[in-house]
Structure 1
Amino acid sequence: MVAGSDAEGRPALVPDPDRRAPGRGAHVHPTSECWQLAVRRRAFSRALRSGEGLSTAPVADHLAQIHQSDPPQHRPETGARSS
């Protein structure tokens, strides 16, 4: 994820799945638990050194698309399923 702008030009957190966008980036596991925790802690503005609040809608939409197309996968190291 990188700091960018949404469709209306407002500051937003935008997905960068190929890790090619210029500037600072932030990583979060593509699970709803990790995403919700990072949003709750406001971790992205600190990680990206952005003084302003960033909309998280573009990345939330991206993660929702990922989870719609991929069934939960078994993680053998923990025996848990990601959701």
Structure 2
Amino acid sequence: MVQHELPASARVGTGSPVRTCVGCRERAQTVDLLRIVVGEHGPQGAVLVPDPRRRLPGRGAWLHPTADCLSLAERRRAFGRALRVSGKLDTSAVDRMIDPLEKNRHKHS
């Protein structure tokens, strides 16, 4: 079996795997990103759910837990592509989780 070495640009530190933020498109370790999954499909479209423990089933999209990255991902319609869903996406649950994290980070800066 042939093992391939990742290029240096793909290795960001050691330990946890590296993923790309769907908002800013920067690569980061999974511990620094928030996993987002499709929770349910309703009449209003798909509901996106934050998965901070990274345990929920289904395809996941990765996002820096910042309002800027969430806004970029929504503007670029990146969640639909990353999660392979079409139609309207409800990101209110993600927004509710990111808002306190953002306020907490600014308080400690």
> Shared topology, TM-score over 0.5?
yes
Specify the alignment match of 2:66 in structure 1.
Answer: 31
Give structure 2 stretches of 5+ with no counterpart.
1-35
1:71 Cα shift?
A: 3.0
Matched, 1:63 2:98: yes
RMSD: 2.6
- Structure 1: 5+ residue stretches without partners: 75-82
Aligned mates of 2:76, 2:55 — CA distance in 1: 26
Structure of higher RCO (CA pairs closer than 8 Å, 6+ residues apart): 1
Q: TM-score, normalised by structure 2?
A: 0.57
Give the count of matched residue pairs. Answer: 73
Post-superposition offset of 1:43: 0.5
The sequence identity of aligned pairs, in percent, is: 47
- 1:40 equivalent in structure 2: 75
Give the deviation of 1:11 after TM superposition.
2.2
User: Is contact 2:59–2:83 with CA below 8 Å preserved after alignment?
Assistant: yes
Classify the secondary structure of the residue corresponding to 1:14: strand
Residue equivalent to 1:22: 57
Larger radius of gyration: 2
Q: Tell me if structure 1 keeps the 8 A contact 2:37–2:56.
A: yes
Looking at secondary structure, tell me which structure has more strand per residue.
Answer: 2
